[in-house]
């Protein structure tokens, strides 16, 4: 039986792409709020004995978790063979230790919660810093796909002579991998975070840009303050207006407008969160990972 894809609201484009690439069918469902704020979920397509693929990116996760949980429970209740989740963006991964006494270690708790909700998970470049792998926080099969090949392919075709910039040491590993695949040089800056919207970035000593276009690459763009601080360093050093490339386009509040106003020449993101800046398609690597897990 072909797998059945069920999208949660806001995931239709990626859901359709996965349906096409997996040769799956798209399930009919309704998800809405009652006037009192409770969530309502109904699945209209028969699912008994089928593999169900839920598609729900998890930016702004608090409002999405209850409908997702209700959908997964309903699918199980109606007899689905397995219920998996494609969550291209995984929230809560940055709170991966107790930075101050008494804090929640949210990444671990979030992993436990999703492990009880679905049978498997596929995501894109989760923010793994102190955790080496998703297996440390998930007790179900959890696959992290990588946006680096798609980022590199986009940079190769869109930017004639790029130099890649990672804003902080955490980014070094994967900026170097994107740079290798894009056959471009790279630099890694140093970041100090003083608060949610207060970051300082410093540049290492480097020579001239040799007429190269700086391409800032980061996994998450949330307040965009990391990119804006990096951009200021670059323009102060006489570089041309940088291209800003992010995997996950969270863009909290006016962050997208702020980044444009700060002087970004172009802003391009992957389609892990639907946003007007989406220019880089990661659906085929997600589909490959889903195929692998469905065949296991
Ligand atoms: C954190 O270390 C991440 O890699 C990003 O640099 C960070 O999440 C960006 O956040 P913001 O856009 O709020 O500066």
Q: In this predicted structure, what is the pLDDT of residue 231?
A: 96
In whole angstroms, how far apart are CA 62 and each of 59, 121, 155, 255, 278?
9, 18, 34, 20, 23
Atom of ligand 1 nearest to the CA of 221: 12
Ligand 1 centroid to residue 188 C-alpha, Å: 14
What digits encode the pLDDT tens for the residues 123-166?
A: 999 998 888 899 999 999 999 999 999 999 999 999 999 999 99
**Residue positions counted in the chain:** 296
Pocket of ligand 1, candidates 129, 216, 220, 231: which has the most ligand atoms within 8 Å of its Cβ, to mutate? 220
Ligand 1 centroid to residue 273 C-alpha, Å: 15
DSSP of 39-58? EEEEE-S--TT-EEEEE---
Residue 218 has φ and ψ, to the nearest 5°, of: -140, 160
Ligand 1 centroid to residue 183 C-alpha, Å: 25
Q: In this predicted structure, what is the pLDDT of residue 18?
A: 98
- 10 Å CB burial of residue 28 (0-12, 13-18, 19+) is exposed
Q: In this predicted structure, what is the pLDDT of residue 1?
A: 84
Q: In this predicted structure, what is the pLDDT of residue 258?
A: 98
Strand partners, 270: 280
> How confident is the prediction for the chain on average, in pLDDT?
95
Pocket of ligand 1, candidates 124, 218, 223, 259: which has the most ligand atoms within 8 Å of its Cβ, to mutate? 218
Torsion sign over Cα 12, 225, 192, 106: negative
Pocket of ligand 1, candidates 125, 221, 224: which has the most ligand atoms within 8 Å of its Cβ, to mutate? 221
Ligand 1 centroid to residue 18 C-alpha, Å: 28
Contact 150, 270 (CB under 8 A): yes
pLDDT at 37 over 80: yes
Contact 186, 179 (CB under 8 A): yes
CA 187: distance to chain centroid?
Answer: 23
Q: In this predicted structure, what is the pLDDT of residue 12?
A: 96
Confidence band of 269 (pLDDT split at 50, 70, 90): very high
Find the residues whose C-beta lies inside 6 A of ligand 1: 167-168, 170, 199, 218-226
Q: Tokens for 151?
A: 């980022």
CB atoms within 10 A of CB 9: 12
What digits encode the pLDDT tens for the residues 90-121?
A: 999 999 999 999 999 999 999 999 999 999 99
Ligand 1 centroid to residue 218 C-alpha, Å: 7
What digits encode the pLDDT tens for the residues 225-262?
A: 999 999 999 999 889 999 999 999 999 999 999 999 99
């Amino acid at each position: 039986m072909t797998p059945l894809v069920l999208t949660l609201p806001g995931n239709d484009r990626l859901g359709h792409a996965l349906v096409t690439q997996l040769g799956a069918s798209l399930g009919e469902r309704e998800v809405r709020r009652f006037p009192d704020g409770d969530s309502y979920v109904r699945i209209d397509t028969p699912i008994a004995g089928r593999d169900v693929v839920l598609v729900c990116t998890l930016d702004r996760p608090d409002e999405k978790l209850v409908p997702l949980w209700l959908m997964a429970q309903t699918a199980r209740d109606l007899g689905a063979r397995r219920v998996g989740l494609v969550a291209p963006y995984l929230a809560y991964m940055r709170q991966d230790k107790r930075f101050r006494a008494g804090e929640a270690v949210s990444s671990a708790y979030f992993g436990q919660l999703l492990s009880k909700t679905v049978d498997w998970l596929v995501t894109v470049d989760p923010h793994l810093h102190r955790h080496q792998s998703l297996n440390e926080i998930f007790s179900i099969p959890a696959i992290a796909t990588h946006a680096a090949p798609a980022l590199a392919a986009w940079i190769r075709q869109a930017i004639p002579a790029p130099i890649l910039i990672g804003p902080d040491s955490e980014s070094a590993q994967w900026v170097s991998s994107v740079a290798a695949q894009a056959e471009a040089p790279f630099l890694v800056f140093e970041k100090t975070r003083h608060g949610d919207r207060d970051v300082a970035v410093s540049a290492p000593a480097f020579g001239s840009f040799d007429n190269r276009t700086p391409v800032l690459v980061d996994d998450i763009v949330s307040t965009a303050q990391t990119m804006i601080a990096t951009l200021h360093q670059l323009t102060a050093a006489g570089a041309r207006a940088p291209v800003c490339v992010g995997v996950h386009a969270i863009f909290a509040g006016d962050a997208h407008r702020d980044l444009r106003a700060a002087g970004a020449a172009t802003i391009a993101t992957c389609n892990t969160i639907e946003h007007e800046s989406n220019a880089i398609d990661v659906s085929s690597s997600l589909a490959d990972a889903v195929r692998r897990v469905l065949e296991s």
